[in-house]
């Protein structure tokens, strides 16, 4: 049943009478949602039921999407930011006959979402998980669930589309020109990330971006009036968006007018505010929202179907003609547009072979030939170079070789050294889309979500900030790992080496926190040449995000004629230095700036006749992927005397040092003082490392 949003039961409303097949299709979507949630005995049917007319209208009349080629480059993107309404999306994928695609970009011919998949909603290994998951179900453009992430990522998708248009389009060849639609609700707009993202989108005048706001005035706790009373329309006008209002979600013609207004708007993004009445439950269920609480129940479903004029006992019913209706609308239009694009691409390939090759490689995540030519090799230097400075040099070489590598920072490019400075790099602005430098403003959370969107259209984006602010990026960064997107997150100022800025800016727990995210490479290079090799590893990732952790302060550039080559980074950890005369007696393990301390301690110990081994461990995740015999060769199980050194929480190092090992790290927050004083205070000196090694040996 539906209500005004305040718990007063009302009869469910049908869409505006016009085309009987339109009404029947909307009802099919609604009843599939009810039946799927009831079969799972889990989930929320209400939002899917209320939003069915909106999604039907968008897909049937406007969305450029070929169900038989759901990865076509120039398709429109639809993101269900209100991921709890996933049955809405699954119903559309099924009814429209979307075909499955495997990781090799091959269309397999079978349905992405079958009716049996809908019947197995929220069940183990089904293609219909509780919230939509990218790379799991073809036709799902973005993993959504945490509210606000979908709309924020849609900004990256829209921005990526406009960048691609500027880069690839040529006279007579409009190769890229897709729109991004995101369906959101009150929860999305309450989350701060949506404000950050909307502000950026308005600033950049992303006219190919449309958010559809389900204004149903209900959240889990009840009416939105409990905590949300702002004027959303005025807020978005303040962001420089075009705002359109539809007073009734069931009025298909009003919805069409709103979408036509979006299509006609060329100077700003569009917010369509749609007033809806969410499914709520019968009088004996007042106070429990079916949108955010529980299934309707068999009796409630029966009564609702009766009100729709639907067979009361029909379960997962798809009437004859519904699939054909959608195939004759969105399916026919999408195929025609896709086929015309493919023909245009063949002409484009003939006239602009270089650009066509770039577009193909980018879409398949294949790097250009010679992409790592001329990467810097840094000479030995005891004074050395800061990790961030070395990274900036490497990045500027890479970006010239990989035209679709672009990015920026959360207002910190001068500090993170992520500005691309080569000739023609340019900035991305509202007036110029084709630059390579992005300016995200002080919006770390939105920045990382936008990176996800850029990566979803197959650009290779990077974003940067201070490591301590990775806390602000973490929700979106986590989703990049869940979606298996090769985004790059450059985090500088990686330790108490920040010095006088004090504990608010000195990361302590952040390294182990990032390492806890499954599927994320966390790489902390020890010197400039490890930075080069870290970038070499990162660029070859096709489905794995990376967090590159870099120092503010200079790190000695190790003499690779004395110590092992930096290419060991590709294996996550490697033997940097051994003492002659036999197997090691003690292992010194470190990442980043602390590797140099271990090298200095190693030299001290060698002078005393103690055989130590220095192991540089820039990336635990890569090391754990190595064969056991390699890991045992680097960290011999027989050598139990071990010392780890890292200017971060020691959490996790026990995996490598064991219960008997020594872990030199941070057990408190830092302090405001010059770096040298902090290193002495917290025990990050070569003498302290050597002393810990001696203690491990009982000396």
Same domain, 303 and 183: yes
Same domain, 550 and 574: no
Query: Structure pTM?
Result: 0.95
Q: How many domains does the chain have?
A: 3
Same domain, 185 and 237: yes
| Residue 347 vs residues 73, 170, 291, 352: alpha-carbon distances, Å | 16, 12, 49, 8
The range of the structural domain enclosing residue 670 comes to 569-696
Torsion sign (Cα): 65, 456, 153, 28? positive
- How many alpha carbons lie under 13 Å from residue 685 in its C-beta half-sphere? 12
Residue 680 sits in a domain whose CATH number is 3.40.50.920
Report the C-alpha gap between 476 and 444 in whole angstroms.
Answer: 10
Same domain, 83 and 208: yes
- CA quadruple 410, 411, 416, 422: dihedral, nearest 10: 110
For residue 8, the model assigns a pLDDT of 28
For residue 571, the model assigns a pLDDT of 98
| Tokens representing residue 540 in the block | 């070859």
Same domain, 499 and 607: no
Strand-by-strand arrangement of the 242-246 sheet = 77-80, 180-185, 209-215, 270-275, 242-246
Q: In this structure, are residues 14 and 27 in contact, taking their beta carbons and an 8 Å threshold?
A: yes
How does pLDDT run across 511-567, given as a tens digit for each residue? 999 999 999 999 999 999 999 999 999 999 999 999 999 999 999 999 999 999 999
Same domain, 398 and 515: yes
Q: Tell which of 316, 338, 360 closes a domain.
A: 338
**Is residue 365 included in any domain, yes or no?**
no
**Is residue 443 included in any domain, yes or no?**
yes
CA 502 to chain centre: 30
For residue 107, the model assigns a pLDDT of 72
| Tokens representing residue 553 in the block | 């302060």
First to last CA, the chain: 77
Same domain, 249 and 392: no
For residue 218, the model assigns a pLDDT of 83
For residue 3, the model assigns a pLDDT of 30
For residue 44, the model assigns a pLDDT of 84
Q: Tell which of 556, 578, 604 closes a domain.
A: 556
Nearest to 154 by CA among 197, 187, 199: 197
Ranges of residues in the chain whose predicted pLDDT is under 70: 1-18, 105, 278-293
Same domain, 285 and 426: no
For residue 293, the model assigns a pLDDT of 56
Nearest to 47 by CA among 184, 246, 139: 184
**Is residue 343 included in any domain, yes or no?**
no
Element (H, E) at 489: strand 488-492
Degrees to nearest 5, angle at CA 420 with 159 and 542: 60
Torsion sign (Cα): 384, 387, 393, 394? positive
How does pLDDT run across 532-548, given as a tens digit for each residue? 999 999 999 999 999 99
Same domain, 395 and 540: yes
**Is residue 366 included in any domain, yes or no?**
no
Residue 224 sits in a domain whose CATH number is 3.40.50.970
For residue 15, the model assigns a pLDDT of 65
608 is catalytic: no
Report the C-alpha gap between 318 and 327 in whole angstroms.
Answer: 14
Same domain, 16 and 96: yes
**Is residue 665 included in any domain, yes or no?**
yes
**Is residue 411 included in any domain, yes or no?**
yes
**Is residue 359 included in any domain, yes or no?**
no
Task: Indicate which residue of 444, 484, 533, 594 is catalytic.
Answer: 444
The most distant pair of C-alpha atoms in the chain lies apart, rounded to whole Å, by 91
Q: Tell which of 304, 338, 372 closes a domain.
A: 338
Q: In this structure, are residues 337 and 66 in contact, taking their beta carbons and an 8 Å threshold?
A: yes
| Tokens representing residue 312 in the block | 């009361």
Same domain, 333 and 400: no
Nearest to 510 by CA among 556, 557, 544, 477: 477
**Is residue 268 included in any domain, yes or no?**
yes
Nearest to 473 by CA among 51, 156, 149, 215: 149
Same domain, 317 and 431: no
């Amino acid at each position: 049943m539906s209500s005004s949003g305040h718990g007063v039961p009302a009869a469910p409303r049908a869409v505006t009478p016009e085309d009987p097949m339109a009404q029947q299709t909307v009802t099919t979507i609604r009843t599939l949602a009810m039946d799927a949630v009831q079969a799972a005995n889990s989930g929320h049917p209400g939002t899917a039921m209320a939003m069915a007319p909106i999604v039907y209208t968008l897909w049937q009349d406007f969305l450029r999407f070929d169900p038989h080629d759901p990865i076509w480059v120039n398709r429109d993107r639809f993101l269900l930011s209100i991921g709890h309404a996933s049955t809405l999306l699954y119903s559309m994928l099924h009814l429209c006959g979307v075909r499955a695609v495997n990781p090799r970009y091959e269309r397999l011919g079978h349905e992405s979402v079958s009716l049996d998949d809908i019947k197995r909603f929220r069940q183990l290994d089904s293609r219909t998980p509780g919230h939509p998951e990218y790379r799991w179900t073809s036709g799902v453009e973005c993993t959504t669930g945490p509210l606000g992430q979908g709309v924020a990522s849609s900004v990256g998708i829209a921005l990526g589309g406009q960048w691609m248009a500027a880069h690839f389009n040529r006279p007579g060849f409009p190769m890229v020109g897709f729109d991004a639609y995101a369906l959101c609700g009150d929860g999305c707009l309450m989350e701060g990330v949506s404000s950050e993202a909307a502000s950026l989108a308005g600033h950049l005048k992303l006219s190919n971006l449309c958010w559809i706001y389900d204004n149903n005035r209900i959240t889990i706790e009840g009416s939105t009036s409990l905590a949300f009373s702002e004027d959303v329309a005025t807020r978005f006008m303040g962001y420089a968006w075009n705002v359109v209002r539809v007073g009734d979600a069931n009025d298909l013609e009003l919805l069409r007018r709103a979408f036509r207004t979006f299509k006609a708007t060329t100077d700003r993004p569009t917010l369509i505010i749609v007033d809806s009445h969410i499914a709520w439950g019968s009088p004996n269920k007042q106070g429990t929202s079916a949108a955010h609480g529980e299934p309707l129940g068999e009796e409630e479903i029966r009564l609702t179907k009766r009100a729709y004029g639907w067979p009361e006992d029909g379960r997962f019913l798809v009437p004859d003609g519904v699939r054909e209706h959608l195939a004759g609308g969105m399916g026919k239009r999408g195929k025609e547009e896709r086929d015309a694009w493919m023909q245009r691409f063949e002409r484009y390939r003939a006239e602009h072979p270089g650009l066509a090759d770039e577009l193909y490689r980018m879409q398949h995540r294949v790097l250009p030939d010679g992409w790592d030519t001329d990467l810097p090799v840094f000479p030995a230097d005891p004074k050395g170079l800061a990790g961030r400075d070395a990274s900036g040099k490497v990045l500027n070489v890479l970006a010239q070789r990989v035209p679709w590598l672009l990015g920026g920072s959360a207002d910190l490019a001068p500090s993170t050294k992520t500005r691309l400075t080569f000739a023609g790099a340019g900035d991305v602005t509202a007036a110029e889309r084709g630059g390579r430098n992005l300016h995200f403003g002080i919006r770390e959370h939105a920045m990382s979500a936008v990176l996800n969107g850029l990566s979803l259209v197959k650009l290779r984006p990077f974003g940067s900030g201070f490591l301590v602010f990775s806390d602000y990026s973490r929700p979106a960064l986590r989703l990049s790992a869940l979606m298996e997107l090769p985004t790059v997150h450059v985090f500088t100022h990686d330790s108490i080496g920040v010095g006088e800025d004090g504990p608010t800016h000195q990361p302590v727990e952040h390294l182990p926190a990032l390492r806890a995210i499954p599927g994320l490479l966390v790489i902390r290079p020890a010197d400039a040449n490890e930075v080069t090799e870290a970038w070499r590893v990162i660029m070859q990732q096709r489905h794995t995000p990376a967090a590159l952790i870099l120092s503010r302060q200079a790190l000695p550039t190790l003499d690779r004629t004395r110590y092992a080559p930096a290419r060991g980074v590709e294996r996550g950890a490697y033997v940097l230095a051994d003492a002659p005369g036999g197997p090691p007696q003690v292992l010194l393990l470190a990442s980043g700036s602390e590797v140099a301390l271990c090298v200095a301690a190693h030299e001290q110990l060698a002078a005393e006749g103690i055989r130590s081994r220095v192991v540089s461990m820039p990336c635990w995740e890569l090391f754990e992927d190595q064969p056991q015999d390699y890991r045992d060769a680097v960290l011999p199980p027989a050598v139990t005397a071990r010392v780890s050194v890292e200017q971060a929480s020691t959490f996790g190092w026990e995996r490598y040092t064991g219960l008997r090992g020594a872990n030199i790290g941070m057990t408190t927050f830092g302090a405001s003082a010059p770096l040298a004083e902090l290193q002495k205070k917290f025990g990050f000196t070569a003498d302290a490392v050597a002393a810990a090694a001696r203690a491990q040996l009982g000396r």
